[in-house]
Amino acid sequence: MNYQLANTIGWLLATTFAFLTNKMWVFATHADNFKELFHEMWSFYFFRAVTLLMDIVILFVGITLFKGNDIIVKLIDQCITNVANYFFSRWYIFKTVK
């Protein structure tokens, strides 16, 4: 399987799981109505899509252009995108922490 396709499928599955766990346990936010829940969910998927694009670019540059080791490039990529995901979630998505 192509590494970009595998990466995108993994992202879709992981993002759904991440939204639920971040909402319930990491940031423990509570939406009072559907509009607030939808806004949190939309924001979460939007910012995760931003980091997916970062992910795709880092993998392309590291593996395809620089011919880097795919495992090492992915490890570096995950460090960068995980930090970005945390800050987006903390500062923009789940602002209210209970």
The alpha-carbon radius of gyration of the chain (Å, integer) is 15
Tell me the CA end-to-end span of the chain in Å, nearest whole number: 42
Residues in contact with 47: Cβ distance below 8 Å, sequence separation at least 6, in sequence order: 85, 88, 89, 92, 93
Containing 56, the helix (H) or strand (E) segment is helix 34-59
Mean pLDDT computed over 73-87: 96
Task: Identify the residue with better confidence: 74 or 11.
Answer: 74
Residue 98 lies in a domain: no
> How many structural domains is the chain composed of?
1
pLDDT for 32 equals 85
Within a domain: 85: yes
Range of the domain at 51: 3-93
pLDDT tens-digit profile of 5-62? 998 899 889 998 999 999 889 888 888 899 988 999 999 999 999 998 999 999 999 9
